[in-house]
Amino acid sequence: MRTSDLSEFYKKPLEERLQALKEFAELGDEEIEKLRKFGALEFETANRMIENVVSTFQLPLGIATNFIVNGKEYLIPFAIEEPSVVAAASNAAKLCRASGGFKAESDEPIMIGQILLVNAKEPEKAAEEIMRNKQELVGKASACDAMLVKFGGGARDLETRVVDSIRGKLIIVHLLVDVRDAMGANAVNTMCEALAPELEGIAGAGAKARMRIISNLAIYRKARAKAIWKKEELEKSVKGNMKGEEVVDAMLDAYAFADADPFRCTTHNKGIMNGIDAVAIACGQDFRALEAGAHSFAAISGTYKPLTRYNKNENGDLVGEIELPMAVGLVGGAVKTHPIAQIAVKILGVKSASELACVLASAGLAQNFAAMRALTTEGIQRGHMKLHAKNIAVLAGAKGNEIDIVAQKIAEEHCVKADRAKEILEEIRKRSGE
């Protein structure tokens, strides 16, 4: 009888894990061989990164070109499976080179650690007492990480809130920590755990610290980027009769749509994260934390809003800006263990977490601009489906040169479908006598 109860699966060598998987899922020998191909991330490294490893999952790694950020030239690695993203970001960066590229900045790397206190008899008084002991508590938190302090980081401040909940009043303590070039989760969580007993004592009899964890809504660690797309460049980039002024106005209408409607805004922000996540994955960052922080920040006003803003300057050019939380790091985590992430960071050439944050914000703005320009001019599917056509050609069974021939044909016919690709492939093979 088939069962998922595999006792001590994590202790088994790779071959035994693969054999168990083969039996459970009825995998063929060819499928098992594909799982054995670990690539640059060999089994021993992967097995230390997560549990129960049986293989690695590879994504295409592309390079977005043309980027200038704060006067520095960048080639930006993108790890992503979605067609047109790399090309779109590269084109967006090219179109703003005439105005100097992207200007970006990031805040100090302050992360928030949260400690939840429950069952305090007088929550408001307990919160006040905690704040009276703030300096001592901050000092004890910093003492947990001498190495971080050595590099200029450490606990910086303490905040308290008392909130009503379905379980009664909760005391929420925020520990603000400068994590320097780290993402910061481990350092912050360690400090929060160390402070928990101290806070329980201050809050009084019965008070209990239920949770001690970093927050991914990094409102004190935001990154911002700005770019100007000249109307003359926009006019040259559009195939058709649209003037530069028309393209600018169309982009502003698209921004107004996202600002007014949460259904459009969700997709608007998803496009931003297409760029940010792709770079984050390539560079070994916690892209899930970035996603959570970005979307939470988009709704922090109480209404879900775009992470970018657009306006027209005095010359009639389009000005785009972005601001969002950006918790990234170059110390610890996958960025130091994944061999491809290390190479990606080297290609990028960033020397600090702050510089990486600026690049990510610029990539997000570029991708958002590119999507909006496509939507308001030739339509999003033109470029996307042209690239997607190759995937459909492969799905239809095309190989080698057949892929490009089939892809081009179905793209020209505006019929990017597997059944049509198969028909064209059969015609090609009949003509070649196969």
- Render pLDDT for 145-175 as a digit per residue (tens, 0 to 9): 999 999 999 999 999 999 999 999 999 999 9
Buried b (16+ CB within 10 A) or exposed e, 49-59: eeeebbbbeee
State residue 402's pLDDT score: 83
**Of 178, 181, 286, 355, which one is the catalytic site residue?**
286
Give 256-289 pLDDT, tens digit per residue. Answer: 999 999 999 999 999 999 999 999 999 999 999 9
Q: How far apart are CA 241 and CA 222, in angstroms?
A: 39
Q: Does 378 score more than 80 pLDDT?
A: no
Supply the DSSP symbol for 351. Answer: -
The tokens of 243 are what?
């003037």
Give 412-428 pLDDT, tens digit per residue. Answer: 787 888 888 888 888 88
CATH topology of domain 61-105+221-378: 3.90.770
pLDDT-based confidence at 296, cuts 50/70/90?
Answer: very high
Give 115-141 pLDDT, tens digit per residue. Answer: 999 999 999 999 999 999 999 999 999
Contact 327, 111 (CB under 8 A): yes
State residue 423's pLDDT score: 85
Amino acid at 165: S
State residue 383's pLDDT score: 56
Q: Rounded mean pLDDT of the chain?
A: 94
**Of 22, 72, 82, 94, which one is the catalytic site residue?**
82
State residue 186's pLDDT score: 95
Tokens 């920040």: give the residue: 297
CATH topology of domain 110-215: Alpha-Beta Plaits (3.30.70)
Q: Specify which residues 104 forms β-bridges with.
A: 225
**Of 72, 140, 169, 270, which one is the catalytic site residue?**
270
Contact 422, 396 (CB under 8 A): yes
**Of 226, 305, 384, 386, which one is the catalytic site residue?**
384
Decide if 384 is catalytic. Answer: yes
